Structures are given as C-alpha cells and as structure tokens.
Amino acid sequence: MKVIEHIAKAKKSLFSFEILPPLRGRDIQDIFSTLDPLMEFCPPFIDVTYHREEFLYIEKENGLLQRKKISRRPGTVGICAAIMNKYGVDAVPHLICGGFSKQMTENALIDLNFLGIDNVLVLRGDPIKSEKSFIAPKNGNKYAVELVKQVKDLNLGKYLDTTFLEKKEFPLFDFCIGVAGYPEKHLEAPNMESDLFFLKKKIEAGANYIVTQMFFDNKKFFSFVEKCRSEGISVPIIPGIKPISSKKQLNSLPSRFYLNIPNELVKEVEKAKNKKNVYHIGIEWAIYQSKELKNSGAEVIHYYTMDRPENIYKIVQAIY
C-alpha cells in the first residue's frame, strides 16, 4: 500500500521508523533485532536508508596511493524485501542521486517494482567524504527534483531506452514518491524562501508527500507547515523526530544539519551528570515533542532510530 493511502485510511496518528542497513559483515538479524520491539506499535511503513560508496586510499609498495571503492552499508533493496516478507509491512527504500547514472536508477526501480515495493523516498544525497560539495555522477541526476521526474516518468511508462520493447508492452509503475523537507531550511540553501521554492518544484514534479529532517523545536515544524501551505504545497507533511542521546550531539547535530536546539534542552543536557542522564533527557524531550505533534493532528510521526530501538520504544510507548 502507498504511504498516502495509509495516511488517508488512518483514524489516528501513525508511527513509522527509519533504519540503517547493517554494516558490511553483519546480517539481517541486526535489522530484526531493531524492528521486533517496534512492531508493537503497528508501523504502516519502514524506511530503509541508502548509503553511497566511499573511497579508501591504500598506500602501495612504491609509495603511490591506490583508490579503492567500498560500500559500508549495502543491501537496501534486499532489506526492504526481507522486512515485507517477515512483518507484512510496507518498506520505503531511499533512492539517491549520488553514485547512480539514470540507467542504474531505472534498473533499481524495475527491481523494486518486481518486489512489489510501492514507495520510494527520493533524495539528492550527501557528497562523499572526499568531495567538498555534491558532484552529480556521469549521466546521472544532479538534483532531487530530477530524480522525482525520472520516477514519475516511469510511472507514466516513459523508459530511457525504448528500443528493446514495443511500447505497448511497457509496464506502468505506480510508485508513491516521498521527498525531504527542512523545517529550518537545507544546510546549503541561502534562505528559507529559496528552500521552499525548490521543495514546491519537487511536489510539482510528482512527489506525493514530505518527510522532514529532525527538529527539536515544534514551533519550527508548525511554522514550516504553515509556510508550505501558503506556497500551495498541499501534500502530507510528516514530522521527523530523533532524540538527543549524548552531549556531543549538542554540537555535532547543528554542524552537520541546519537546525537549532532549544536553550531549555541545551541547559538540561549540559548539567546532566552522566550519559544515562542525557539519554533520559533526550527521551523525555522527544515524548514532549511527540505528544504535542499528536495532539496537533500529525497524521504520521516518523522516528529516526539509528538502529538503536530502546529509546524510540520508550518514546512511542508513552504516547501510543
């Protein structure tokens, strides 16, 4: 079932979760260990992130460096299939621009369709560590809006290569397309107005719903929704929540993402005596956020688990 269909049929707020593929060398049981306790809350769908390639530089005997491409977290498509098979829950694979030519993207979408996957979350993706800024792959999509258009084209039966099949034989796909939204603007956007302009372009290109980046101040989310509606963006907007779990995140999260952490939360975390105290402060703050979002009528609340289900379980249990 499509994400937007789950939303349309829901009679109360739903809870969804996002997981990471396990590191290379681990197995599917890592995923099941994360999800087993969370299935108590009947999530309508589970997001599975995609992590692009990385490069290692290995010194050879002659002193020259050899660049080696590696994938630390492979298996997004297979994990989605395993989740659907084990739990009977819809899986939402992330689809990114980085590392994919348009032909590779088309092939991935064909595979997803074979597996009965109805949803994709479309993202540009981050630059690899050796890049100062995002560099589009050769013959690939440079922006998320271009990737949305490619998925939408396949939904309309428009393939890249039409020579190998008669047009009448082309299957029509029917992917539900999600995109990212940024309540405090994207890190690279010059201002909020510019960010909203490009978000609207993604909706006009065919996106069906929005999932937001994490935020810690609900006022930022409510303001974001209001601004979206004033711009004519009418699709569902799903808030994304991640609890603080360590003191270092007070600096690392704002530096990696464009977000503000409320001073009240900062003060509570800074005066915490140990990691356990910080952990519980993060849970309580996320419970407060979630209750307010639920009471405001949020159709879905989406949780970034980072494959650590214990705190997420306690948060959702408190409001389920």
Residue 134 — very low, low, confident or very high, per pLDDT cuts 50/70/90?
confident
Judge whether residue 299 has pLDDT over 80.
yes
Q: 136 near 127, Cβ under 8 Å? A: no
Judge whether residue 185 has pLDDT over 70.
yes
Residue 22 — very low, low, confident or very high, per pLDDT cuts 50/70/90?
confident
pLDDT tens for residues 225-237?
999 999 999 999 9
Q: 160 near 106, Cβ under 8 Å? A: yes
CA-angle at 18, arms to 255 and 231, nearest 5°: 70
Q: Can you tell me the distance from the alpha carbon of 196 to that of 69, in angstroms, rounded to the nearest whole number?
A: 35
Tokens 């999932």 belong to residue: 211
Sign of CA dihedral 293, 220, 203, 102: negative
Q: How far is CA 243 from the centre of its chain?
A: 16
- DSSP 8-state assignment for residue 40: G
Residue 168 — very low, low, confident or very high, per pLDDT cuts 50/70/90?
low
pLDDT tens for residues 83-104?
999 999 999 999 999 889 999 9
pLDDT of res. 71: 60
Judge whether residue 292 has pLDDT over 90.
yes
Instruction: Using alpha carbons, select from 222, 188, 187, 214 the residue that is nearest to residue 295.
Output: 222
Q: How far is CA 137 from the centre of its chain?
A: 21
Judge whether residue 27 has pLDDT over 70.
yes
Average confidence (pLDDT) over 245-250 = 95
Tokens 């993060």 belong to residue: 282
What is the average pLDDT value for the chain, to the nearest integer? 91
- What's 215-243 look like in SS3? CCCHHHHHHHHHHHHHCCCCCCEEEEECC
